[in-house]
Amino acid sequence: MDNLPRLLRSPERAHLVLADGTVFSGFAAGAAGVCEGEVVFNTSMTGYQEMLTDPSYHGQILVLTVSHVGQTGVNDADAESDRVWARALIVQDLDETPSSWRAADGLEAWLAARGVTVGWGFDTRAIVRHVRTHGALPGVLVADGSDPAAFRSAARSARGTDGLDLAHDVACTRPYAWTEGPWPTMARGDAGGPLVRVVDFGVKRSILRRLVGEGFRVEVVPPAIDPGVVLADEVAGVVLSNGPGDPGAVAGARELVAEIVGRKPLLGICLGHQVLGLAVGGRTVKLPFGHHGGNHPVRELSTGRVLITAQNHNYAVEEASLPREVEVTHINLTDGTVEGLALPRLGIESVQFHPEAAPGPNDAAGLFARFAERCRTTREGS
C-alpha cells in the first residue's frame, strides 16, 4: 500500500464551509491546513499554474470548473510570479503524476512544497452554481482532519475582498528592470528602446514580456512611488498593472494616477483600468461573482469586432459615473459592463480584460502594439 500514489492512500476528508453556512465536501491534498478566502471560480480549460501564480488571486480560494487538473504538471516558464498567491485550490479531479515533456514537477507535490492546500473530489459544478446564485462568498477550506462544524463561525466572519488593499501585499517595494521577452525570444530586452515604467499593483510576468516584445526597456516600480519618478523626461509611457482586491482601497493609487493622466501615454490593465476609472472621476462596483476565465466575449465599439478575452476581476467601472470626456471603448457581451476606456487626445487607453492572456486567447494582444505606437508618436512630437 505504501507504493500507491499519495492521493490513493485513504485520503483525508476536506470541507469547504461558506459564509452562508453551506458545506461542500471532498478530499485533502497539498499541504494540510485551514485556509480562509473569497471563493471564486475560473472557467478556463488550461493554465492552472498561471492562475495560481497570478498575484490577482491573492486573498481568494480558487475553484476550477475544468474536470481534470494536473496532467501537464508545472514548470518554471509558466509561472506569472515567484510564488503561489491563491490561498487554496479546489478541483474535481487531481492528477498526481503529470504527462508532459515540459513538466518539472507534479502539481500536487509542487503545491505541498509551497504550503498550499488543495481540495479535490469536490462537486465543483455545485460550488459554481451556488456562487452564481448567491454571489461571491468568503469561506474556509478545512483540510487538516478537523470537524467542519467547528468552522461555521469562522466562515461567517471570514472577509471577502471589499475594502482591502491587497495590491500593496503583492507589489514590489523597490524598482527593478525586466528584460525577458516573450517566447521563443526569452531574453530580448532592447537596451536602446524607449523606457516604459510599470506601476506594480500585482503585475503578471506575461505583461512585462509583451512590453519587451514591443521593443521597450521595462522598469517596474512600486505603487507608493513618487509621481516625479514616473513622469521623468526619459519615460516614454506608463502601464498600470493588474492586481488583487478592491480598487478603491489601494492606498495612494487614485492620486498617483491622477498626477499621470494627460502627461504620459498610459495603458491600464484590469486593476489598473479600474484605478484609472477612479482617477478620472468614476466609481467602481463589485460584480455578483466576477469574471474569471478565458472565454469572455467583449465588443470593441469602434469596429464592432468581438474579442474573446481572458479575465480575472471582481470589480468593474460604473459607466454612468464616468465624465462625458471619457470614452467607453469595449463592453462585456455577457452582462454589459465596461471593458475599456479611452481619452484619445491624452494618449490614454485601458482595458478590464487581460490582453496578455496567459492563460487565454490572444485576440487582444494588439493593444500592446497600439500602446507602443502612442509612445513613439508622443515622443516624436515632443
Q: Supply the residues annotated as catalytic.
A: 270, 354, 356
Type of residue at 12 = E
As a whole number of angstroms, the distance between CA 194 and CA 199 comes to 16
Other beta carbons within 10 angstroms of residue 323's beta carbon come to 9
The residues facing 298 across adjacent strands are: 307, 332
As a whole number of angstroms, the distance between CA 371 and CA 221 comes to 19
Other beta carbons within 10 angstroms of residue 114's beta carbon come to 13
Q: How many helices (H) and strands (E) does the chain have?
A: 10, 19
DSSP string, 20-55: TS-EEEEEEEES-EEEEEEEEEE--SS-HHHHHT-G
Q: Which strands sit side by side in the sheet containing 195-199, from one edge to the other?
A: 176-178, 217-221, 195-199, 235-240, 266-269, 348-351, 338-343, 327-332, 284-300, 306-317
Specify the 3-state DSSP secondary structure of 65: coil
Residue 17 class from Cβ within 10 Å (0-12 exposed, 13-18 middle, 19+ buried)? buried
